[in-house]
Amino acid sequence: MIIYIARRLGQSVFLIFGAITIVFVVLRVVSGDPASLMLGAQATAAELDAAREQLGLNDPLWDQYVRHLGEVLTLDFGESWRLGGDALSTVLERLPSTLTLAGWALLLTVLIGFPLGVYAARHTGRLADRLVSYLSLAGQALPSFWVGIMLVLIFARMLDLLPGTADGTPLGAILPAFTLALPFIGWLARLVRNGTLEELGKEYVRTARSKGLPEHVVFNVHVLRNTLTPVVTVLGLVMGNFIADAVIIEQVFAWQGIGSLMIDSIVHRDYAVAEAAILLIAVFYIGLNLLVDVLYFHLDPRITLETV
């Protein structure tokens, strides 16, 4: 177990290093001069050169990269020229907002997706099963930004039932959380449906039925318990996806989280904040993947080091 965790930690460090490198290169290749954005169109050439020198943009790209690696290792992403203050602290201030949105989305995914999957499995081959499958595929295929816009038009503008933008209330979280959760509701429903059908065909179910156990006991106690094992573990991956996908949803609903902060920072070439936000999202995603892998060892005794 320790060897496996050490190996996965090594892979995680390599992935984070790759994310740091890609973010550094992309943000500096994208057109746009931070010095011009900082000083405005009225700045003189001398003022622009001084600003670039202060930001270290006149150094060779390799020197900037090596210096940047050292800064990241000490969690020093620099100062935000646009917002002022430490870049990492600015991002961490927005983290609770994004985690709140992801938490609501995860709750909706479980409360809707799991019962739909169980219902489809209990009515396999019937109209209800086909409807769940069609709706699941539709939810995964529709672009999230389009779904968010349609929900705002219907529930906020036409029906005036819910706020169209984040207003700090639980009602204001319903539309963005549902938009974020929709693709994963269908995905979870199909996962639960297929997992339940697989468990129903196993030998222990036939044995339990042959012993005269009531069908609801066989299904609720034995089948669902074994179906929950893969579901619980993948929820960590879903949470990681929520944090990453919140970038688009936060823009649609004006949700003040990491995603909207990252987009604004990229637009204004605020490298320090953009890098801190992107790398924090990457670390969360990679960390949750590692947690899920470790958790699977404890939930499923059939998993051994030889099988991974």
Is the pLDDT score of 304 beyond 80? no
Report how far residue 108's alpha carbon sits from residue 102's, in angstroms, rounded to the nearest whole number. Answer: 10
User: Across-strand partners of 80?
Assistant: none
Give the model confidence (pLDDT) of 106-120 as tens digits.
999 999 999 998 888
Q: What is the pLDDT of residue 294?
A: 74
pTM: 0.80
The pLDDT score that the predictor gives to residue 92 is: 92
215: in domain: yes
The average confidence (pLDDT) of the chain is 82
Distance CA 28, CA 70 (A): 17
Residue 20 lies in a domain: no
For residue 40, what pLDDT is reported? 67
- Residue 179: is its pLDDT beyond 90? yes
**Average pLDDT rounded to a whole number, residues 292-305:** 63
Token pair of 298 as six digits: 């404890």
d(Cα 237, Cα 258) in Å, to the nearest integer?
A: 18
pLDDT confidence of residue 171: 86
227-245 burial: b if 16+ Cβ within 10 Å, else e: bebbbebbbbbbbbbbbbb
* Domain contains 302: no
Identify the CATH number of the domain in which residue 192 sits.
1.10.3720.10
Greater confidence (220 vs 70) lies with 70
Q: Which residues contact 104 (CB under 8 A, 6 or more apart)?
A: 173, 174, 177, 181
The answer to whether residue 195 sits within a structural domain is yes
Number of structural domains (the chain) is: 1
In a domain, 63, yes or no: no
Confidence band of 274 (pLDDT split at 50, 70, 90): confident
36 in any annotated domain: no
| Residue-by-residue DSSP string for 41-90 | TT--HHHHHHHHHHHTTTS-HHHHHHHHHHHHHTT---B-TTT-SBHHHH
Distances (CA, A) of 274 to 55, 246, 249, 293: 15, 15, 17, 29
The pair phi, psi for residue 86, each rounded to 5°, is -65, 135
Residue 263 resides in a domain: yes
Mean pLDDT of 210-214: 80
In angstroms, the CA 281 to CA 22 distance is 14
pLDDT at 286 over 70: yes
305 pLDDT tier (thresholds 50, 70, 90): very low
Instruction: Give the pLDDT confidence score for residue 3 in this predicted structure.
Output: 76
Please give the pLDDT value at position 300: 58
Q: Is residue 283 part of a domain?
A: no
Confidence of residue 77 (pLDDT cuts 50, 70, 90): confident
Q: pLDDT tens for residues 5-29? A: 778 788 888 888 888 888 888 777 6
Cα 81 to Cα 161: distance, rounded to the nearest angstrom:
40
Domain that holds residue 211: 93-267
